[in-house]
């Protein structure tokens, strides 16, 4: 799946004051690529991937999935797209407290009308949580919860994966586990987009963009990716 | 794992919240179902009384109301007795506008003689009676012989067994259906049997009649007016013609009881409404608070791919499960309590209470469960709307 953002802008209103999260961002994501978006806190990174995943409507511009404008999709169609084609790892703790680790991972698969237990167990093993399959999230550490979120995002083998600070609060070993899994997904053909300020992630990236004050440096239209490569090296 | 099991899992993992919601639904259904059953029992009891009274006018000794509460005696079967001269019957025969008349005898069993409660003994005339026999026929179609009785449902005496009244062994030949009134502990016999019992009481030193012979007295005369006759006018005519006796229109007694029942029904309805308003506020608050606590959970579900409709379904299913469980428990519990205690309540409050039939009770129970389910769904609808219209991006961004 190819995602193309064409000159998208998002503006929030806080107490009637307009706050521009980012402006006129144009970017494309290809299959098999791991893209990093870096930047300081408040630079608009999270808002950008939330907009790309359709959680925040863009005030202007278009977001196209394989040429289809997601702003034209109704809730059911957009939810279906998220369920089957998008894996999303939100920032912070996102495990569902009422479900066990295994149930958390199986939930997207159940929503898609499948029950991929064998693959769920493979993912559990890949993120090192196989012994905690029947544990509840309140029994897990922060690192384990992040790995759980990563495994859940991958259960339906999505073609696009968004990860918002997936290595936040993780030690080096746990960070490497999560980033390796995401890299493997990219190598298997998924478009992986990671928002992070963790420099350890740079070596996994095929492309790196930087956000600053609501502008995407390395913006495809303006810079034709020329600014990306130096950041990787 | 199945998506439909998610509401059940959510409820199981929040036992305190779930139990509280079930209890609220239980209280709502118990109030509605209990209230309705009580109202319907009152109505049915009143209908039963009306059916059983069967007369337009009753003639009683003057001042009888000073001796016993007439209404309770005649409508509820509260034990009591009084007598007037038998000549009243002859005088009544000469009055125009009367289609049928029949005399009855009242007597009360001696304390602790046969039963744990005092028994009202009602004697009727096998030849002329038109008030008692029509419904006695339901349990005994024959002709009552001397010292044969038909017993109320509340007495332990079984058909074929005997009941000792003033030392006379009376054989039960039939047992009546429950009425929900004191008539359940009454005994029906012919006038001859009751006269014999009055004589027997005198032999035991319990003289219910001081000087007269039971042959010369009656307790009451039941009158059926001619079709089309003005009953009020006939009542006045009888009152003018009789000395030492008074005619009372039966509907006036029923009206008074009906008024009391109406007031009670309104009070029960008001109380039920108050319970419902309170429970609805608590339920709304519980769902509202829960919606606030679950924003992050629902934002995560949106990222997984849950549509607004599927999220609404989760919230509504959770409310339907809790409301349904509470309503079912409330209906069953209240039904059992009503079944067990409605007679006792009737006796304690001197109200004619008669439980509706099993079919009607089941229909009411089902209706109450349906209404509580709707109330639960309505209370959760606002939460469902709020949770399905959360700003997923904002919650994910701000982590709240």
* pLDDT the model gives residue B115: 66
Q: Confirm whether B252 is domain-assigned.
A: no
Are residues B189 and B315 both part of a single domain?
no
B110 and B198 assigned to the same domain: yes
Question: Do the domain assignments include residue B57?
Answer: no
CB contact under 8 A, B392 and A111: no
List CB contacts (< 8 A) between A98 and chain B. 9-10, 12-14
Q: Which residues contact A64 (CB under 8 A, 6 or more apart)?
A: A2, A3, A4, A5, A6, A70
Rounded to whole angstroms, the Cα distance separating A125 from A148 reads 11
Nearest to B396 among A55, A83, A111 (CB): A55
Identify which of B14, B306, B399 has the shortest CB distance to residue A92.
Answer: B399
Q: Residues A116, A109: contact at Cβ < 8 Å? A: yes
Domain total in chain B: 2
Residue A82 gets which letter from DSSP? Answer: H
pLDDT at B114: 62
pLDDT at residue A214, as a whole number: 77
B325 confidence band (pLDDT: 50, 70, 90)? very high
- Domain membership flag for residue B94: yes
pLDDT of residue A225: 38
Quick one: B19 and B80 in the same domain?
no
Q: Which residues contact B340 (CB under 8 A, 6 or more apart)?
A: none
**A218 pLDDT higher than 80:** no
Q: Are residues B43 and B104 in the same domain?
A: no
Last residue of a domain, one of B210, B243, B276: B243
* Pairwise CB contact (< 8 Å): A91 & B396: yes
pLDDT at B113 over 80: no
| Residue percentage of chain A with pLDDT more than 70 | 93
Can you give the pLDDT at residue B72? 64
The verdict on B97 and B231 lying in the same domain is: yes
Q: Hey, of A43, A46, A47, A50, which one would you mutate to test binding to chain B, going by the most B CBs within 10 A of its CB? A: A50
Do residues B137 and B166 share a domain? yes
Per-residue confidence (pLDDT) for residue B98, from 0 to 100: 92
Are residues B278 and B177 part of one domain?
no
User: Tens digits of per-residue pLDDT, B175-234?
Assistant: 887 766 667 788 999 999 988 888 888 887 776 776 778 888 888 899 998 988 888 899
The tens digit of pLDDT for each residue in B252-290 reads 777 777 777 788 888 888 888 888 888 888 888 888 888
- Contact of B36 with B331, CB cutoff 8 Å: no
Burial class of B207 by CB neighbour count within 10 A (0 to 12, 13 to 18, 19+): exposed
Q: Of the candidates B243, B270, B300, which is a domain's last residue?
A: B243
Query: Are B399 and A91 a contacting pair at CB < 8 A?
Result: yes
Residues of A in contact with B300 (CB under 8 A): 90, 94, 96
Q: Are residues B220 and B196 in the same domain?
A: yes
Confidence of residue A183 (pLDDT cuts 50, 70, 90): very high
Residue B346 phi, psi (nearest 5):
-60, -45
* pLDDT for B298 beyond 80: yes
pLDDT of amino acid B376: 87
B12 phi/psi in degrees, rounded to 5: -65, -35
* Exposed/middle/buried for residue B196 (C-beta within 10 Å: 0-12, 13-18, 19+): buried
Q: A interface mutation test: which of B8, B301, B305, B313 has the most A CBs within 10 A? A: B305
Per-residue pLDDT, B75: 61
Residue to test with chain B: of A41, A82, A160, A166, most B Cβ within 10 A: A82
User: Distance of CA B124 to CAs B83, B90, B106, B271, Å?
Assistant: 14, 17, 9, 43
Among A81, A90, A111, beta carbon nearest to B306: A111
Q: Which domain holds residue B146?
A: 63-243
Residue B224 lies in a domain: yes
Nearest to B1 among A79, A94, A110 (CB): A110
Tell me the per-residue pLDDT of A167-181, one tens digit each, with 9 for 90 and over: 887 888 888 988 999
Question: Would you say residue A223 has pLDDT above 50?
Answer: no
Judging contacts by C-beta atoms under 8 Å, the chain B residues touching residue A53 are 303
pLDDT value of position A63: 93
Instruction: Write down the mean pLDDT value for chain B.
Output: 84
Q: Which chain A residues are within 8 Å of B12, Cβ to Cβ?
A: 98
Q: What ipTM does this complex have?
A: 0.88
**Would you put residue A168 in left (φ > 0), alpha (ψ -120 to 50) or beta?**
beta
Q: Which residue of B has its CA nearest to A58?
A: B393
Q: Does B320 fall in a domain?
A: yes
Q: What is the mean pLDDT of residues A47-68?
A: 90
Residue A233 C-alpha, separation from nearest chain B C-alpha, in angstroms: 30
A101-125 tens-digit pLDDT? 999 999 999 998 888 899 999 999 9
Instruction: For residues B191 and B283, state if they share a domain.
Output: no
Q: How many CB atoms lie within 10 A of CB B291?
A: 19
Are the C-beta atoms of A178 and A194 separated by less than 8 Å? no
* Helix A101-111 vs helix A117-126: crossing angle, to nearest 10: 130
Residue whose tokens read 């009242």: B106
Mean pLDDT on B328-351 = 83
Whether the per-residue pLDDT at B8 is higher than 80: the answer is yes
Query: Is the same domain home to B341 and B369?
Result: yes
CATH class, domain A3-232, is: alpha beta
| Closest alpha carbon to B69 in B260, B355, B345, B267 | B260
Nearest to B40 by CA among B371, B354, B358: B354
CA-closest candidate to residue B125, choices B60, B61, B188: B188
**A227 pLDDT exceeds 50?**
no
Helices (H), ranges, A112-233: 117-126, 142-154, 172-187, 220-223, 228-232
Task: State the smallest CA–CA distance between residue B313 and chain A in angstroms.
Answer: 13
Tell me: do B177 and B96 sit in the same domain: yes
Angle, in degrees to the nearest 10, between helices B295-304 and B308-349: 140
Looking at the structure, do residues B165 and B199 belong to the same domain, yes or no?
A: yes
- The residue from B243, B275, B305 where one domain ends is B243
For residue B386, give how far its alpha carbon lies from the nearest alpha carbon of chain A (Å): 16
Say which DSSP state B5 is in.
G
Residue B75: DSSP 8-state: I
Q: Region B93-118: what's the mean pLDDT?
A: 81
**What is B280-305 written as a DSSP string?**
HHHHHHHHHHHHHHTHHHHHHHHHHT
* Any domain includes B280: yes
Selection from B397, B155, B59 nearest residue A44 by Cα: B397
Chain A nearest-CA distance from B117, in A, is: 59
pLDDT score of A151: 93
- Say if the Cβ atoms of B305 and A115 lie within 8 Å: no
pLDDT of residue B327: 94
The pLDDT tens digits of the residues spanning A123-167 come to: 999 888 999 999 999 999 888 998 999 999 999 999 999 999 998
Run of H or E residues at B220: strand B220-225
How many C-beta neighbours within 10 Å does residue A84 have?
Answer: 16
Q: What are the residue ranges of helices labelled H in A39-161?
A: 45-52, 75-85, 101-111, 117-126, 142-154
Chain A interface, Cβ < 8 Å to B: 46-47, 50-51, 53, 55-56, 75-76, 79-84, 86, 88, 90-92, 94, 96-99, 103, 106-108, 110-112, 115, 152, 164
**Nearest residue to A33 via CA among A226, A191, A185, A210:** A191
Chains A, B: CB pairs < 8 Å: 85
Q: Which of B3, B307, B391 sits opposite A79 (nearest CB)?
A: B307
């Amino acid at each position: 799946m190819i995602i193309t953002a064409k000159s998208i802008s998002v503006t929030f209103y806080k107490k009637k004051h307009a706050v521009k999260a980012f402006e006129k961002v144009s970017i494309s994501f290809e299959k098999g690529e791991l893209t990093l978006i870096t930047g300081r806190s408040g630079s608009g990174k999270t808002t950008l991937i939330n907009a790309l995943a359709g959680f925040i409507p863009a005030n202007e511009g278009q977001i196209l999935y394989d040429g289809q404008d997601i702003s034209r999709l109704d809730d059911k169609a957009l939810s279906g797209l998220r369920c089957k084609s998008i894996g999303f790892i939100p920032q912070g703790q996102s495990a569902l407290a009422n479900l066990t680790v295994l149930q958390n991972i199986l939930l997207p698969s159940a929503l898609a009308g499948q029950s991929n237990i064998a693959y769920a167990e493979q993912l559990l093993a890949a993120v090192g949580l196989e012994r905690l399959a029947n544990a509840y999230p309140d029994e897990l550490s922060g690192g384990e919860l992040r790995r759980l979120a990563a495994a859940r995002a991958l259960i339906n083998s999505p073609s696009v994966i968004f990860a918002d600070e997936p290595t936040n609060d993780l030690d080096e070993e746990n960070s490497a586990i999560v980033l390796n899994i995401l890299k493997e997904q990219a190598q298997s053909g998924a478009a992986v987009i990671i928002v992070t300020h963790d420099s350890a992630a740079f070596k996994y990236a095929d492309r790196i963009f930087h956000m600053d004050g609501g502008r995407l440096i390395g913006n495809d239209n303006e810079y034709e990716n020329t600014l990306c490569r130096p950041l990787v090296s | 794992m199945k998506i439909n099991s998610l509401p059940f899992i959510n409820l199981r993992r929040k036992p305190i919240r779930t139990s509280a919601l079930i209890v609220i639904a239980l209280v709502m259904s118990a109030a509605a179902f209990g209230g309705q059953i009580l109202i319907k029992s009152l109505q049915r009891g009143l209908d039963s009384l009306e059916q059983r009274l069967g007369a337009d006018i009753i003639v009683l000794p003057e001042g009888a109301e000073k001796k016993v509460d007439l209404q309770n005696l005649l409508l509820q079967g509260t034990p009591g007795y009084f007598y007037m001269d038998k000549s009243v019957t002859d005088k009544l025969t000469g009055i125009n506008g009367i289609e049928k008349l029949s005399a009855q005898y009242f007597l009360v069993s001696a304390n602790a003689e046969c039963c744990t409660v005092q028994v009202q003994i009602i004697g009727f005339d096998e030849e002329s009676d038109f008030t008692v026999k029509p419904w006695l026929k339901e349990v005994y179609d024959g002709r009552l012989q001397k010292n044969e009785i038909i017993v109320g449902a509340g007495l332990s005496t079984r058909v074929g067994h005997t009941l000792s009244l003033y030392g006379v062994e009376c054989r039960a030949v039939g047992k009546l259906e429950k009425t929900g009134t004191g008539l359940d502990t009454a005994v029906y016999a012919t006038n001859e049997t009751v006269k014999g019992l009055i004589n027997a009481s005198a032999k035991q030193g319990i003289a219910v009649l001081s000087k007269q012979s039971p042959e010369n007295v009656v307790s009451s005369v039941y009158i059926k007016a001619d079709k089309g006759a003005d009953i009020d006018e006939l009542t006045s005519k009888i009152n003018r013609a009789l000395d030492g006796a008074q005619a009372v229109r039966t509907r006036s007694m029923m009206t008074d009881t009906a008024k009391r029942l109406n007031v009670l029904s309104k009070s029960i309805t008001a109380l039920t409404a108050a319970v419902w308003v309170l429970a609805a506020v608590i339920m709304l608050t519980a769902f509202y608070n829960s919606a606030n606590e679950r924003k992050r959970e629902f934002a995560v579900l949106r990222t997984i791919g849950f549509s607004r409709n599927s999220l609404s379904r989760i919230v509504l299913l959770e409310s339907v499960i809790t409301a349904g469980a509470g309503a079912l428990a409330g209906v069953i519990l209240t039904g059992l309590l009503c079944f067990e205690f409605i007679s006792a309540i009737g006796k304690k409050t001197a109200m004619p209470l008669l439980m509706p039939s099993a079919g009607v009770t089941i229909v009411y129970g089902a209706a109450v469960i349906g209404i509580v389910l709707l109330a639960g769904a309505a209370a959760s609808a606002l939460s469902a709307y709020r949770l399905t219209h959360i700003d997923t991006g904002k919650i994910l961004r701000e982590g709240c």
